[in-house]
Amino acid sequence: MSPEHSRPAGPPPADPVHLDADGAPWRAPMRTPVGPAWSPPLVTRPGPVERARRLVAVVRPEPVSSGPAARAAAVAALLALPLLPVLLGDPDPPVAPAGEAVRVAGPPAAPVGRVAASSPPSSAPRARPVAPPSGLVVPAIGLRAGSPEQLTIGPDGALGAPADFDRIGFWTGGPTPGQAGPAVIVGHVDSFRGPAVFWRLQEIPVGATVTVPRTDGRSTTFTVDRIEVYPKDRFPSDEVYGPTANAQLRLITCGGSFDRAARSYRENIVVFASVH
């Protein structure tokens, strides 16, 4: 054995292994990285500020600076949030109540002498309280009627007529004679027994006076302005029942030719009178 391969004298060199307190080789324990437990991200609906930010981003996609102008824009967008359902469309908009009054364009068939005018609008003006009518006096045709029946609009949308052919009827849904607006008094023209209370209504001359006494002892006198004849299927509700600035009166009955199949007159006679 050559000297260069001979083992040097002395104890062998120590193994570069760390020893523990008992002299056994020590090795660092193996460690595995332990991460936090995973949980799904919490998804929440965007709040008003986030919705405003998104709205601004849609309208103005470029980056917005954080200066006073940007803050003012954000505040304006936030204040506009209550209007977003109106501007952008509400998926479930509230159902508006339906409208409160519907007029019938053409009145249905009516019995003999019935006034089948279209339903008057419910927005007739109401002035100061005035006592209801107690009768009707038209000297030009010799008419003197007593206390009227109280009339309303029927389920068919037509203004009813008095049950008694010899009595007039007053529409309680409109103005009282003497109030601003058109007061409406109706009556039959005839019956199976013969002429009724408004048999001579069409004979009233323009300029004649019509007096309506009231239950408080007072009365209102009107002057006849014109007389019109309208087909029942084209009754001008707005013209007859529409609001007026002064006190006016409408006297209505049936007229024209008689439809024997429907047992009804085909037209309505309307007397327009007003306080002069």
- pLDDT tens per residue, range 81-97: 444 333 344 434 333 33
Does residue 168 sit within a domain?
yes
Q: Which residue has the higher pLDDT, 67 or 235?
A: 235
According to the model, what pLDDT value does residue 88 have?
Answer: 40
pTM of the model: 0.57
According to the model, what pLDDT value does residue 220 have?
Answer: 97
In this structure, what CATH number is given to the domain that contains residue 159? 2.40.260.10
- pLDDT tens per residue, range 171-200: 999 999 999 999 999 999 999 899 999 999
Place of tokens 């002498």: 113
Does residue 224 sit within a domain?
yes
Please check the confidence at residue 148 and state whether its pLDDT lies above 90: yes
pLDDT grade for 128, boundaries at 50, 70 and 90: low
Q: Which amino acid, one-letter code, is at 25?
A: P
Please check the confidence at residue 49 and state whether its pLDDT lies above 70: no
The count of structural domains within the chain is 1
Does residue 241 sit within a domain?
yes
Torsion sign across C-alpha atoms 111, 115, 121, 127: negative
- Structural domain range at position 255: 136-274
Does residue 215 sit within a domain?
yes
Does residue 34 sit within a domain?
no
Does residue 90 sit within a domain?
no
The answer to whether the CB of 216 falls within 8 A of the CB of 236 is no
Does residue 41 sit within a domain?
no
Please check the confidence at residue 139 and state whether its pLDDT lies above 50: yes
According to the model, what pLDDT value does residue 217 have?
Answer: 95
Nearest to 111 by CA among 265, 264, 267, 269: 264
CA distance 228 to 24: 128
Does residue 119 sit within a domain?
no
